[in-house]
Every structure is written in structure tokens, then in C-alpha cells.
Amino acid sequence: MKQCDLCGKKSQVQKSGAHNYGGGWAYRAHKTRWVGEPNLHSQRVTYLGVRKTMRLCTKCLRKVKAEMASKVSKVAKVPEVLKAETPIPVTA
């Protein structure tokens, strides 16, 4: 069964009624079963400090990518800030 590794969203079996309106015959209409599947993507992501391949639904994939981008931007900005604000002391 398809399932998201992060939130646990999985396939749902549902029934669809052929007729939603009408007379007495609408209650005897055929009900067909269909499976609603989540929109899963297999991606290599860094989650909780571990780099691995996960099957994620679209919503969780956006959350994980945003988390990864924020961590990368924080790491990239720290050296620039330190270089600009703190000069290296010269000892002679």
C-alpha cells in the first residue's frame, strides 16, 4: 500500500454513487469502488540530520524542502557575517 513516510497518508477506498439526484431509481444506482491514492514522490532528502530516500506526499515534501533551504541559508550566512563584523587581531 502506498504511504507517506512522514505523515502516514495512505490510499483510501471509497464508493462513488452514479446518481446524486433524481427519483426513486437513484437509490438503486450502481455504487462503484475506487481507490484514491496520495500524490507521492520518491526523493533524497536530509531530514533530522539524516540523508535518505523517502516517499513523501506533496505537502510533506514542501515542508522538508523548506526546512532544508532554511538550514542551508543559515549555514551560508554565518561565515559572511563573522567575516564582516569581527576583524582578525594582529599580534606582533
Q: Break the chain into its structural domains and give their ranges.
A: 12-85
Cβ-in-10-Å burial (0-12, 13-18, 19+) of 67 comes to middle
Residue predicted with more confidence, 11 or 16:
11
Contact of 42 with 28, CB cutoff 8 Å: no
Q: What is the pTM of this model?
A: 0.60
What integer pLDDT is reported at residue 40 of this predicted model?
Answer: 95
Summarised one tens digit per residue, pLDDT across range 41-68 is 999 988 778 889 999 999 999 998 898 8
